[in-house]
Amino acid sequence: MEFALSEDQRMLQDSLNGFLKDAAPLDTIRKIATVDEAAGAALASGLDGLGLAGLHVPEAQGGLGLGLLDACVVQEALGNAIAPSRFLATTVTAHAMRHAGEDFLPGIASGDIRMGLALTELSSRRDGAGVTMQKDKVSGKSLLAVSAVGSTHLLAADVDGRLHVVETPGLSVMQTIDRTRIFSEVQYDGDTSAMALTPDDEVLAAARLLVAADTLGAAQAMLDKAVAYAAERQQFGRVIGSFQAVKHMCAEMAARLEPSRALVWHAAHAVDTGEPEGLVMATLAKAHLAEAGTFIARTATEVHGGMGFTDLVGLHYWFKRIGVNRQLFGSPEQCRLDAARLQGWLQTA
C-alpha cells in the first residue's frame, strides 16, 4: 500500500509554498517580528484570500470540508516560512465544533468570526493561572493564548477540562522568544458569558498535531539552509560540505526528519478516519517532533558556525519557533505521560 499525499494535497502544498515564498520572505518576517503592523496585516490578508479559514469547516457550513491531514500540510508550509497565522486556532476550533456550535462555523469559514485558542488548562497548568466556570460565566486567567489578539472569540479550556467559546475579554501580550507570533495572557472578570462545548479529547490532539506539523516545516527549512550553506561555504580551499564531519551532521538531521513526516501524516490520517490509535499517535507525534526539531535546530546552527548566530542569516527565527513549539500544549515529557494514560498504562488519581 502506498501512503503519500494525494495530487490535490500536493497542489495545495505547492500553491501555499509558492505564495509564502513571495509574500513572506525573511525581510517581511523581520518586520513582523519588530511589530510592523502593516507587514503583518498584508500577510494576513493574503492568507485570508486563499480561503484557509474554511479548510476544516464542513461543506454544509460553507467550508471546504477537508481533514486534519490537509490541515497539517498547510501548517507545515506555514512553519517552513515561519509565517504568523491564525490558521492553527481556526482549525482547532472548527474541529471542536464539528458536532456542535454550527452557528459559529459559517462565520469562521467566512472570516467574520476570528478565533483565538486558550487551551493551557488541558496540558500543563501554571502557577497563578486557571479558568473556572459558574452559571455560564467564566473567571480566572489563561496563559499563552494563541491568536487571541485581533480575535472576536476564544476557545478556552477550564480547570475541569471543559471547553467554552467566549467573546474575547481583556488581553495583555506575553513575551516569548518567538517574535513571529504573539501570545497573550487572557483575564476573565467573572462576568464573561460562555457557550459550553462537549468535552472532546480530540481537540487537544488536533492542536498538538498541528504544532508538530509546524515544527516539521521549520525543521525542514533549517535542514535545507544548512545543506545549502555547506555546499557554498569554503574553508582550506574546499566547500565545508566535502568534510566528513559536516556530511555526517547533515545526514543525521535528514535521518531524524524524514521518519517524522511519516509519523505526522499517519497520526493525522488516523484521527481523520477515527482509528483507535489516532489520539495516541497525535500525542506521540508532538513529543517526537519537539525533540527531533530541537536536535535539527541546534545542528543546523552548528553547521553555519558563527554565521548561524547572526541576524543576517536569520536562523534564530526558526530556532526560536521550534523552541516555543516544544512547550506549546505540553512538553515532550507531558505528551508521553498523556499517551501512556490514553493507553491505560497509568492509573488516574
Note the pTM of the prediction, 2 decimals. 0.94
Residue 127 has pLDDT above 80, yes or no: no
Question: In angstroms, what CA-CA distances link 279 with 4, 79, 98, 205, 264?
Answer: 21, 22, 17, 6, 12
| pLDDT tens, residue by residue, 225-271 | 999 999 988 888 888 888 889 999 999 999 999 999 999 999 999 99
What is the CATH code of the structural domain delimited by 114-199? Answer: 2.40.110.10
pLDDT at 42: 94
> Is pLDDT above 60 for 349?
no
Is residue 200 scored above 80 in pLDDT? no
In this prediction, residue 11 carries a pLDDT of 94
Q: Grid coordinates in use for 54?
A: 474554511
Q: How does residue 298 score in pLDDT terms, banded at 50, 70 and 90? A: very high
Please say if the pLDDT value at position 1 is more than 60.
no
CATH 1.10.540.10 fits domain 1-113: yes
Enumerate the domain spans of the chain. Answer: 1-113, 114-199, 202-342
What burial letters (b/e) apply to 78-87, b meaning 16+ CB within 10 Å?
A: bbbbbbbbbb
Q: Which CATH number fits domain 202-342: 3.50.50.60, 3.90.650.10, 1.20.140.10, 3.30.360.10?
A: 1.20.140.10
